[in-house]
Amino acid sequence: MSRQKFDIDVLVAGGGPAGLAAAIAARQQGLSVLVADCAVPPIDKACGEGLMPDAQDALEQLGLRIENTQTGTFHGIKFIGPEGAVLARFPRGEGMGIRRTLLHQILLEFAVKLGVKTAWGVRICGLQEAGVRVGSEVIIPRWLVGADGQHSRVRNWAGLSAAREHTQRIGIRQHFSVAPLSDFVEIYWGAEGQAYVTPIGRKELCVALISRKRFVSFEAGIAQFPELACHLRTAQRTTPIRGAVSISRSLKSVVRGRIALIGEASGSVDAITGEGLAMAFRQAQALGQALAANDLSLYQAAHREISNLPSFMAHSMLLMDKNSWVRHHALRAFVRKPALFERLLSVHVGELSLKNFGLRGMLTLGWQVLIA
């Protein structure tokens, strides 16, 4: 990849949302882009399928505003546990529930409209002295972007696999034809995991279960949340069960030479935050700017900054998952002090900085948890 004659400016390995977002950002900087993936659209993945206001803002920064009738709307987050229920509305805007396949289709259509070239059903086989082997061809890109997920081959080829892995949990997802119980993303807390319920249409729900140990079955997982189980008892299941592993992983570096990583290839936070896509969209914008400036160190610095808050929130929320005492007292504290929950949601979506939440806010939270 050191030769000066290039076939294309940017080769993106991986055509999921992160890869397409990277391609869009690079194309908007005037660079020629090819996306290659061994899968064929639309690409699906087990996830919660919710875009909070900050994720939609990040998409708009890439020039894309989603306006589609096949989506759901939610106005905040609701925690539900044996201790009670507490909800908080977003300080600004509203969330969007959208099927992962529909989101992929919209991103792909936008990328192609901008002039991004695509190669589907084609595997990127490895790096060579001459360039990158894509299927039976060797392509010489100016930049290679690894957007090939948690088990990134590009990351391994580039020697960027050094990382700290904090947690690993199992997620399973299914869709149901039934009206939502509320206009919130509902997170049910149990002893073995959580259930995330996202309205993705007027009469359709995405239900995702995440736990440290695999549930015996989807039904056994749902049974841990009686209110949710009752609501879904007669609902029609509209898709098969799909699973994925949720990993918290931070890499020491996400760039080397003319190679950069994005999305889950570049590290990830637990799905408990709901911030995976928002992070990828922000990373894409930063990567596009770094490519245009011919300086990937700019992307390395931006990537670290983008990851800081979601990583902090993931660590904090996973304490509730790992420790029953913390979970019980935190939920009781939130039920007693809903304003505290509202402020934490404001921090989570980037409307209130941790600095402004401040030491006083952290001490208040700690005290409420202790006395709850």
Write out pLDDT tens, residues 330-340: 999 999 999 98
- pLDDT band, residue 348 (cuts 50/70/90): confident
The answer to whether 210 and 264 have CB atoms below 8 angstroms apart is: no
Write out pLDDT tens, residues 107-164: 999 999 999 999 999 999 999 888 999 999 999 999 999 999 999 999 999 999 998 8
Q: How many CA atoms lie within 13 A of 9 on its CB side?
A: 18
Q: What is the CATH number of domain 8-70+98-165+248-313?
A: 3.50.50.60
Question: From the CB of residue 304, how many other CB atoms can be counted at a distance below 10 Å?
Answer: 15
pLDDT tops 80 at residue 235: yes
Q: If DSSP codes are grouped into helix, strand and coil, which group holds residue 149?
A: coil
Maximum Cα interatomic distance, the chain, rounded to a whole number of Å: 67
DSSP state letter for 35 = E
The answer to whether 345 and 93 have CB atoms below 8 angstroms apart is: no
- Residue whose pair of structure tokens reads 């304003």 in the numeric block: 339
In the prediction, which pLDDT does 1 show?
A: 47
In the prediction, which pLDDT does 361 show?
A: 55
In the prediction, which pLDDT does 14 show?
A: 97
- pLDDT band, residue 356 (cuts 50/70/90): low
In the prediction, which pLDDT does 130 show?
A: 81
- Residue extents of the structural domains in the chain: 8-70+98-165+248-313, 167-245, 324-371
Backbone angles phi, psi at 305, to 5 degrees: -65, -40
Using CA atoms, how far residue 146 sits from 49, 229, 250, 284, 311, in Å, is 23, 40, 16, 12, 21
Write out pLDDT tens, residues 177-189: 999 999 999 999 9
When the pLDDT of each residue in the chain is averaged and rounded to a whole number, the result is 91
Taking the model in full, what pTM does it have? 0.93
Q: Which of the pair, 30 or 273, is modelled with greater confidence?
A: 30
% of the chain with per-residue pLDDT over 90: 74
pLDDT tops 70 at residue 344: yes
In the prediction, which pLDDT does 2 show?
A: 47
- The matching CATH number, chosen from 3.40.30.120, 3.90.600.10, 3.30.9.100, 2.70.70.10, for 167-245 is 3.30.9.100
CB-based burial, 231-261: b 16+ in 10 Å, e otherwise: bbeebeeeeeebebebbbbbbeebbeebbbb
